[in-house]
A and B are shown apart, each in its own frame.
Chain A
Amino acid sequence: MKFNLLKQLLFLGIMLSGSIIFAQTVTGTVTGDEGPLPGVNVIEKGTTNGVTTDFDGNYSIDLASSDAVLVFSFIGFTSQEQAVNGRSVINVQLAVDAQALDEVVVIGYGQTTVKDATGSVSAVKSEDFNKGVIASPEQLIQGKTAGVQISNSSGEPGAGIALRIRGTTSVRSNNNPLFVVDGVPLSGEASSAEGSDIGFGTSGAKNPLSFLNPNDIESISVLKDASSTAIYGSRGANGVVIITTKTGKGSQGGLFEYSAALSFAKAADTYDLLGKDQFLAGLNQFGLDATANDFGSNTDWQEVVLRSTVSHDQNISYSNNYGDGSIRATFGYAQQEGIIEKSSLERLTGRVNANHRFLDDKLKLTAQLSISQTKDESPPLSGSAGSKGDLLGSAYSANPTWPNDPTFNLEGNRNPINFLTYTQNESETDRQLLNFSAEYDFTTELTAKVNVGYDHSNSTREALASSLIDNAESGTSGNGAGFINDIEVSNKLLEFTLNYSKEFENSKLDALVGYSFQDFQREGRNVEGWGFTSENMNQMASDITAAANEAQARIDGSYQQYGYGPNLPNGFINRLFPNETNDLNYTNATVRSLVGNTFDFTDELQSFFGRVNYTIADKYLFTATVRADGSSKFGSDNQYGYFPSGAFAWKINEEDFTGDTFSTLKLRLSYGITGNQDGLGFGNFVRRERYADPSISDGGDVNPPGLTSVSFANDKLKWEETTSYGFGIDFGFANDRLKGTIDFYNKQTTDLLIKTVSAQPAPQPTVFENIDATVLNQGVEFSLDYDFIQSDDLTWNANFNIAYNENELQDFDGAISAGTIRGPGLSLAFSQILAGGHPLFSYFLRQFEGYDANGQGIFTGGVDNQTFVGKSALPEVTAGLSTSVSYKNWDVSLYFAGQFGHYVYNNTANAFFTAGNFGTARNVIPSVLTSGESTSAEASVSTRFLESADFIRLQNATIGYQVPLKEDGVIKSLRLTLTGQNLFIITDYTGLDPEVSTNPDNAGLLNDLPTAGIDYTSFPKPRTFTFGLNMTF
């Protein structure tokens, strides 16, 4: 406010003095769409006489001649000329130059423009983001960018997401790109705990990005090729996604913005299961005892566990550009309900982005502070549920004549409502991401910047099953079981960069050097309790927490683990560094058995990097980068990896010989080496000992673990490297009204970091090694943008992108099974093998040929003959089409997404929709009754359940209306929208949704290989309608 006043006084002074001395003066106000524009250049044409507008957009200029023409120009806006013609007041409104704004893309440690970019970079601005219910930032750009595949693995709010840029490069579980939020590279590890097994299997961690409020995001840049990601060195191999949050820059004079959304959702699709009558008739048809299996009710179990939901999202922000700086403060609250009972996501976010310039704009201080609290509630779903299934599995297979009654118990079966009622799984994650930077211009050429980032999160997950649960595993029934998983993650970043940029006569140099240090600390505890006196799950949660805290309080000195049980009434303490020796001597009547285990480790990354951009004649652009990354995950011989890249771009349209045909024609060549070390884990290069993980037996006994080697230490471990080549052409016609990009790339990942089978004898069955094999990804990306109609009242544009990727593992001798299939009679079954000469996630199955006369399956080469079937879970083609039309105050936009060439294993059908299952009086879909399969047939893993997953989806449709308002009203703008998400899907897939991937937790993975393309009782995707309101005032 102080600066504001000062400026106005100063301006008043200038005005007064001006009017006294000169006679011919023009004054006025320059405005943009959102109000006054400060800093606009106002120049008397043909002279050097000029002024700039003040904070309120006012200017005053003394003219040299009476027939002067004034030129108003401002970056990002179309320049305007006004002949004075004797006027003394000239007010001007400048139009936004959309093309100019689009051009800016944020890249690593800087920004550039699309026209000057040498690498393959796509930026999506907030106005192009997907609308509707957005739980996490990456959903904002789903389908917007060629070669970027973003799959929601399930319809669960806050579920993990798979984001693949130019294919899948890693054979480990880490294929997500590096996320950089306002300059802070985030850790690739989850910030919340995975779901523990409270009696029905485990589940993967939640989405680590859901702490960000999508409404705070200004733009998302996707760096696809090595020339642009190599500046992030060892973390660039999977691509880099740079998220930039909104600032107050564009809001002169203070602007409030309020947005609200109200959403209604229900399952987009459900299974057509047998009803009571069909079910009983079917039993008779198969010669089974219908009377014995008729329990009298008629329950639609899907209706019991699914629900229609109402969610809402509110955001209020204040932003202000006061000249020497700007500020934006926001507060958001979102409450998203999942379409399965007991699933929800509640998020509270607050953010302040502020920057201020000091010392004649030479020093710029920036702070970006965000805090968030996320509460997740998860239903009893698991990616690793066994024969009885999880909540959905049991709902699909439950006898429809069972009553909807949690006390109904039939031995050996799982009653969905019992299961739902007596389990609880809630987590709360508090996260702060704080970032401060100071930037100082030593000269106009030399700038230094210091950046300090702190990312801290604290997460607690409580998973409980009460003793009233029936037919659960692990001795949970009758006793109750519970887990507390606490994780505290602290990442610190220190960064220093120096930037030198200088324009020469016919060329331009832009150089950057930097140093960065980042550490990643993870600490926490896993507590397991068994045998609860209380049946109330909230009470159980507080009992186990109290018992664990009390036990910990009794321990003097440091410890790794502790516990007690009926067989161990005095308890035990395991200390790694015994500085004290007291005994636990603790039991707690409310929790009969308890074990707690702690962890605390820190990884470090230290980097030196540099980049040179050199432009000749604005036609030939050269970029070279190098980064040296040192990681504490490797032994001293291999700690540092060096990641260079180079790129060249040629703006052919700037050449005289191209004439005016092209408005853009740019050729790009790039090469680079990037690295990857994610998923390697802590300290695998050195022999370490820890106490083994404690557990509680099914009967409640606790056997204290002893010391053992953590891993098979490999001091030869080194960086996994990806070498990429790229070639691209950007083109545009008619002032880029039609524009497009085509890119070819080849990525070869070598020295693969993989857990292979140890050459026994060894301390562990597997060892991390760099194996001499290659993962090849090569493909082509194409995008096209066309403005069909550009007029004042009516506009219509469309954007189409499509990408093809080919993936193959080469020079690999092994054959590692992966893709666990689960369900009754499917223990230890798998569907994929990782082998040389095949894409990752290649299916390895029995070839199903039909049924014989006895209704038994026939398989090529016999019942146990599994072979490669030439199909993979990885899509070959991904495509997106968006189009928008605006007419006066109305606008409509549609976005279609498609993926092709890949296959999904319908594990749900394999596990539940077979005659064999019907033979055990479990419910099925109608086709099972007519398939010709016998109830005594085995439903082995075969091509019978492998289905094409090609689909086209209308992902998003939005109708918007800009409410016309009076010029001087309190409300400056008001926009109403109606958005539909997941409106329809065209696919031959017989499951609920082909865009699916069921993920167990890491321990549930077969041979530590990630899963893809397995549909096992996935959380159904919702169809959502959202009413949105956005106003500024």
Chain B
Amino acid sequence: MKREQNNLKFYGLLIVFAVLMYSCTDLEIEQSDSIIPEDTGGGFSGVADPASSIGDLYNSFYSNLESQENLNAVNVVTTDEQLIPTRGADWGDNGIWRQLHQHSWTPAHLFILRTWNDWNQNAFRASEIIETSSTTVAEAAEAKWQRALSMYHVMDVFGVVPFRGVDEGPEIDPIVLTRTEALDFILADLNDAIAGLPSRAAGAEAYTASKEVAKFLLAKVLLNKHIYNGSGSADNADMLQVMTLVDEIAAQGFALEAGYFDLFATAPDSESIWTIKSSIGNRIWNGMHYKMTAPDQSGGWNGFSTLAEFYDLFEGDANTNYVGDGQEERRGWVPDAGNADNTTNFGIGFGFLIGQQYDETGAALTDRQGNPLTLKKQFPGIVGNDETTGIRIIKYHPINGEFNQHQIAFRYSDAHLMKAEALWRSGGDPTVLVNELRTLRGAQPITSVTEQDLIDERGRELYIEQWRRNDLIRFGQYTKDWEFKLPAAVGDETKNLMPIPASALLSNPNLVQNPGY
């Protein structure tokens, strides 16, 4: 009996041992919550669902363009239209904003790194879609537009554009396209995109690409082509093509539209060519004071301001911006005790906010220290500010909804001004085109258009729409002096390109730092 039991246990153990040996695993992971493409040995085997990947890449664009940091900071805060002064302890942020406005950024700057990472990553994801065999022609056209936009931003900000094949793993150092090579690459993608994308008429929902969206970007690239290829002066054929492209866009019903601040509400309009589907809250609140009325308490950040010299580009009283101060429509207006209300403005103005601010009942606001909230044109310095210094800019207004997913990326009046500029660059007279816009915006017509008039008009029409850096460089004015720019940076042409981020240089030996850094 005992013997048998003993044997039984022994065999039991043997069985367990055998089971254990069979449990030896090949250590392969299961496809449980992610798609793991089968390894066919040939490297990249395509994205699983091109349409879904295209959709996610749009989501990436939206969040990249929604942020007040990164690309927006590079294109807006490094110019004369915006600065974020340090206010007491607020907005110091390790100097990250000051460096941009002062042109003292270094290759270690976080926003510059993120701009590099964001848009190169977008380009790679577009390549993956393009290189997938199941991608349809229309999908490939859309992905090529996505890649062109992504590479355009890299080329515009950094000059060179790295390129990685879709089957190249982390051990491969991407090749680096010169700015001219990148330009050709982008133009080729855009032409393919225009050929394959459907047209979309004005007034329709404009969250995705269309022939017109791609044409707008092509016009933008061509207008800047002489900067990108270093030729120094615009080519007449390119300018002609810019004008043609704008006319083709107009043929789909896009046109200048009256009611400047209504363009930034959500109602369909004839100007919006491409809108991004992300909340406009960041655009609204970055400059508003903490105590300004916020219907849902999201509230102001009291940061972003503009320079007095930029404000002075506009007609009107130099020191106040209440109704009747002689301003043109685009400078907006500030409600006062007489016209602040809870139904049309919450007491918050439109455009440029200067002077005493009011709440929705018409009561004068104070800052958090109890002083009158009188927004001042001048700054004591880029640091050491109180809460009231700096004129604030607001284009999207909370009265139209604080979190609408409707931020304009490409707008017809930009196309219109591109056409005017192309005309001027090819020797024509753009006065009629410029005055067409000025009259619509309630500004005095001008008798003849100079180069300075063109860049100023672009500033007045397109302020804080992320084009200022690009415009100033094209007009040779990005290196001019403005308040708080470091003297050493004035006239320094190397600032026209951002440095290759330090960690990017380390990651890829094929990259060479831009001159001056």
Cβ-defined partner of A829 (8 Å) among B94, B291, B504: B94
Give B55's nearest chain A residue, CB to CB.
A706
Cβ–Cβ contact A699 & B88, under 8 A: no
Taking the complex as formed, is B517 at the interface, i.e. its CB lies under 8 A from any CB of chain A? no
A706 pairs with B59, CB closer than 8 A: yes
Q: Which B residues from 50 to 70 make CB contacts under 8 A with A?
A: 51-60, 62
Q: Which residues of A contact B405 (CB under 8 A)?
A: 567, 697, 699, 701, 703
User: Closest residue of chain B to A519, judged by CB?
Assistant: B25
Q: Is A825 within 8 A of B89, CB to CB?
A: yes
CB distance from B485 to the nearest CB of A (A): 15
* B20 in contact with A494 (CB, 8 Å): yes
Contact partners of A709 in chain B: CB under 8 A: 125, 128
Which segment, of A102-110, A472-480, A965-973, A992-1000, faces chain B?
A: A472-480
Q: Are B13 and A448 in contact (CB under 8 A)?
A: yes
Cβ–Cβ < 8 Å partners of A92 in chain B: none
Name B14's closest neighbour in chain A (CB-CB): A448
B111-154 CB mask vs A (1 if < 8 Å, else 0) is 00110111011011101100000000000000000000000000
Stretch at the interface among A214-222, A890-898, A932-940: A932-940
Residue pair A683, B36 in contact (C-beta under 8 Å): yes
Distance of A879 Cα from B117 Cα, bound (Å): 45
* Chain B residues with CB under 8 A of A413: 290, 368
Which chain A positions have C-beta within 8 A of B162?
759-761
Contacts of A438 in B (CB 8 A): 13, 16
A830 surroundings in chain B (CB, below 8 A): 94
A764 touches B299 (CB 8 A): no
Binary CB contact string for chain A from 505 to 523 against chain B (1 if under 8 A, 0 otherwise): 0000000000101000001
In the assembled complex, the Cα of A289 lies from the Cα of B370 at a distance in Å of: 6
Determine if A601 is an interface residue (Cβ-Cβ < 8 Å). Answer: yes
In the docked arrangement, what's the CA distance between A475 and B294, Å?
11
Would you call A502 an interface residue if the criterion is a C-beta within 8 Å of the partner chain's C-beta atoms? no
Q: Which residues of A contact B118 (CB under 8 A)?
A: 765
- Is A411 within 8 A of B88, CB to CB? no
Pick the contact of B94: A600, A601, A826, A921 (CB < 8 A): A826
- Of all chain A residues, the one with the shortest Cβ separation from B118 is A765
Q: Which of B1-39 contact A (CB under 8 A)?
A: 2, 5-6, 9-10, 13, 16-17, 20-21, 23-25, 27-37, 39
Per a CB cutoff under 8 Å, which of B32, B59, B98, B403 touches A864? Answer: B98
Please tell me which one of the listed residues B20, B87, B300 contacts residue A412 in the complex, with CB atoms under 8 A apart.
Answer: B300
9-residue interface stretch from B164-172, B184-192, B229-237, B430-438: B164-172
CA distance A450 to B18 in the complex (A): 11
Query: Judging by beta carbons under 8 Å apart, are A606 and B164 in contact?
Result: no
B-side contacts of A363, CB under 8 Å: 9
The residue of chain B having its C-beta at the shortest distance from the C-beta of A469 within the complex is B297
A687-B37, A826-B93 known; A606-B278 Cβ under 8 A: no
Q: Does B513 sit at the interface, judged by CB under 8 A?
A: no
Complex CA distance for A505 and B405, rounded to whole angstroms: 85
Closest residue of B by beta carbon distance from A717: B170
Is residue B271 contacting chain A, with contact meaning CB distance below 8 A?
A: no
> What residues on B are CB-neighbors of A450 within 8 Å?
13, 16-17, 20
| A715 interface residue (CB < 8 Å to B) | yes
B29: A residues at CB distance < 8 A: 601-604, 632, 682-683, 686
A517's partner among B25, B128, B384, B508 (CB-CB below 8 A) is B25
B96 at the binding interface (Cβ < 8 Å): yes
Does B370 contact A761, Cβ atoms closer than 8 Å?
no
Indicate if B452 sits at the interface (CB-CB under 8 A): no
Q: Which residues of B contact A921 (CB under 8 A)?
A: 368-370
* Distance to closest chain A CB from B259 (angstroms): 23
Q: Which of A288, A639, A765 contacts B121 (CB 8 A)?
A: A765
Known contacts A683-B29, A707-B53, A762-B124, A864 near B170 by CB under 8 Å:
no
Chain B residues with CB under 8 A of A934: 384
B92 near A826 (CB under 8 angstroms)? yes
Q: Are A864 and B24 in contact (CB under 8 A)?
A: no
> In the complex the two chains form, what is the Cα distance from A719 to B168 in whole Å?
22
When the two chains form the complex, which single residue of B52, B86, B90, B117 contacts A706, counting CB atoms closer than 8 Å? B52
What residues on B are CB-neighbors of A824 within 8 Å?
89-90
A801-828 residues with Cβ-Cβ distance < 8 A to B are: 813-817, 821, 824-828
Residues of B within 8 A of A523 (CB): 33
Residue in A697, A698, A938 with the greatest tally of chain B CB atoms within 10 Å: A938
CB distance from B510 to the nearest CB of A (A): 9
Number of A-B contacts defined by CB within 8 Å: 339
In the assembled complex, how far is the CB of residue B61 from the closest CB belonging to chain A, in whole angstroms?
Answer: 12
Instruction: Determine whether A93 belongs to the interface, using a CB cutoff of 8 Å to chain B.
Output: no
Given contacts A288-B369, A825-B90, A936-B384, contact A701 B52 (CB under 8 A): no
Q: Is the CB of A917 within 8 A of B403?
A: no
Given contacts A494-B23, A757-B503, contact A576 B34 (CB under 8 A): yes
Do residues B121 and A764 form an inter-chain contact, with CB atoms below 8 A?
yes
B287 within 8 Å of A by Cβ?
no
Min CB distance A633 to B, Å, is 8
Chain B 75-112 interface residues, beta-carbon cutoff 8 Å to A? 86-96, 98-99, 104, 108, 110
User: B404: CB under 8 A from chain A?
Assistant: yes
Could you tell me if B33 and A478 are in contact, using CB atoms closer than 8 angstroms? no
Given A471, A598, A937, which contacts B88 in the complex, CB threshold below 8 Å? A937
Residue of A whose beta carbon sits closest to that of B88: A916
B370 contacts A813, C-beta separation under 8 Å: no
Residue B484 is within 8 A (CB to CB) of chain A in the complex: no
Q: Is the CB of A814 within 8 A of B506?
A: yes
B27 touches A359 (CB 8 A): no
Alpha-carbon gap, A828 to B31, bound state (A): 37
Does the CB pair B93–A601 fall under 8 Å? no
Given contacts A708-B53, A825-B86, A827-B93, contact A701 B279 (CB under 8 A): yes
CB within 8 A of A698: which of B31, B163, B279? B279
Cβ of B447 < 8 Å from any Cβ of A? Answer: no
Write the A848-889 contact mask toward B (1 if CB under 8 angstroms, else 0).
000000101000000110000000000000000000000000
Interface readout for A824-841 with B: 1 if CB under 8 Å, 0 if not? 111111100000000000
Does A598 lie within 8 Å of B170, measured CB to CB?
Answer: no
Contact B401 A765 (CB under 8 A): no
Q: How far is the CA of A716 from the CA of B171 in the complex (A)?
A: 8
Q: Is A292 among interface residues, defined by CB-CB distance under 8 A?
A: yes
What string of 1s and 0s marks CB contacts (under 8 Å) between B366-404 and chain A? 101111000000001001111100000000000001111
Contact A828 B59 (CB under 8 A): no
CB atoms of A411 and B369 under 8 A apart: no
Please judge, given known A-B contacts A291-B370, A598-B33, A769-B170, whether A760 and B504 are in contact too, CB under 8 Å: yes
A692-B56, A706-B55 in contact; A759/B27 too (CB < 8 A)?
no
Does B174 reach chain A (CB closer than 8 Å)?
yes
Most buried by A among B27, B29, B93, B503: B27
Point out the residues of chain A lying under 8 angstroms from B54, CB to CB: 706
- Contact: B297 with A478, CB < 8 Å? yes
A87 sits at the interface (CB 8 A): no
Taking A359-B6, A761-B124 as contacts, is the C-beta distance between A938 and B86 under 8 angstroms? yes
Residues on B with C-beta less than 8 A from A683 are 29, 34, 36
Q: Is the CB of B385 within 8 A of A936?
A: yes
C-alpha gap A599/B47 in the complex (Å)? 20
Inter-subunit contact A710/B34 (CB<8 Å): yes
Whether B279 and A697, one on each chain, are in contact in the complex, defined by CB atoms closer than 8 angstroms, is yes
- CA distance in complex: A438, B10 (Å): 11
Central interface residue in A567, A687, A824, by most chain B CB within 10 Å: A687
Point out the residue from B39, B291, B503 that lies within 8 Å of A814, measured CB to CB.
B503
Other A-B pairs beyond A688-B35, A689-B47, A825-B93, 12, CB < 8 Å = A289-B369, A293-B369, A387-B90, A517-B25, A632-B29, A683-B36, A758-B117, A763-B121, A864-B94, A920-B89, A939-B92, A940-B95
Cross-chain pairs A/B with CB under 8 angstroms, 26 sampled? A412-B300, A440-B9, A470-B297, A496-B20, A600-B32, A601-B30, A604-B27, A604-B29, A606-B27, A687-B37, A688-B36, A701-B279, A706-B54, A714-B169, A714-B170, A716-B171, A759-B172, A760-B508, A769-B170, A825-B93, A828-B94, A864-B95, A920-B387, A921-B369, A937-B384, A939-B89
In the complex, the 3 A-B pairs of residues with the closest C-beta atoms, listed nearest first: A699-B403, A706-B56, A412-B290
